[in-house]
Amino acid sequence: MPRNQKSKPGKKRPDSSARAFFLFLAGCGAEIYIFILRRYYYSGPLRQMLAWADYLPVLGVIGLAICAASLIALIISRKRKSDGKLLSTPDNASAGIRKTTFWTSALLFLCIESGFLAAASFLTRWNMSAIFLFSALVPTATALGILWLLYDRECALSLTILSAAAFIAWLRYRGTGYAFWIQIIAAFCIFILAAVAFLVSSGKLSKLLSAELHAPLIYISCALSASGLICALIGPSAAYSALIGLAMVIFGLVVYDTVKQL
C-alpha cells in the first residue's frame, strides 16, 4: 500500500515501488539459496556435505567481490545523479529519472544478494545451525524492508521494534546453546527501547518519521517489546508466550495501517 501522501518527511519517493520490488526479489533469491543449503549441505549425504564444505568459502569470496563491485557502482551512480549529469535537457528528464531509478534499484538488488551470499556461505561453513537462523531472518528482514519503503515511517518503526523483540523471543524459545548471550542481548535491547522512546518524545527522530507523527503507537510498541524481552529473560516457556503475543500484535498493526491508508 502507498505511504500516506500527507506525511511530508515520510513522503513516498518515486523509486520506492521499484526498490520494494527488487527487495522482494532479493528476499526470494536468498530463500532459494537457504533452501539449497538445507537440501544439499545440511540434509545431504556425507560425500555431498564434504563437497559443499569446500564450495562455501569459494562462494563467500565470490559474493564479497560482487558485493564490493556493485557497491562501488552504486556510489558512482548516485554521485552522477546528484551532480545532474544524467539529466542534460528537460526533454529527457523523465526518461533519465526512470532509467536511473531502474539501474540504482538493480545495483542495490545485486549488492544485497551478493552480500547475503557471502554472509550465508561463511556463517554456514562456520556453524551449520546458521541455516535455521537465516530461515527466520530473511523473510522478516525482507518484509520490514518493504514496509519501510511503502508504509508510514512510524508504523514501520513500530513493526521493526516488535519484530526484533519477537525474533529474540524466538531465539530464546529455540533453546540454543547461546542462551546466556541471548539474555544479554535482550537486556541490552530493553535499554535501546528506552532510548528510542526518549528520542521520539524529544523530537530527535523528526527527520526520520512523518510529519503527522502518531507517537503513542511507538510508545506502545516499545512497552510491549520490552515486556516480551523481559519474558525472554525469564525462560523458554515465557519467551514462547511472548512470541505468540507479539505475533498477534504485529499482525493487528499491519492490518490497521493497511486499512488506514486505503
Q: In the prediction, which pLDDT does 39 show? A: 84
Q: Which ranges of the chain have pLDDT less than 70? A: 1-16, 18, 78, 80-102, 175-177, 206-214, 261-262
| Per-residue pLDDT tens digits for 221-253 | 889 999 988 988 888 888 888 889 988 988 888
Cβ neighbourhood burial of 249 (10 Å; 0-12, 13-18, 19+): buried
Q: In the prediction, which pLDDT does 172 show? A: 85
Q: In the prediction, which pLDDT does 41 show? A: 83
Cβ neighbourhood burial of 226 (10 Å; 0-12, 13-18, 19+): buried
**pTM for this one?**
0.65
| Per-residue pLDDT tens digits for 65-103 | 888 888 888 777 767 665 554 444 444 444 444 555 667
3-state class (DSSP) for residue 88: coil
* CA–CA separation, 258 and 261 (whole Å): 5
259: cell is: 486499512
Q: In the prediction, which pLDDT does 168 show? A: 87
Q: In the prediction, which pLDDT does 83 show? A: 56
Rg (CA), the chain: 21
Q: In the prediction, which pLDDT does 97 show? A: 46
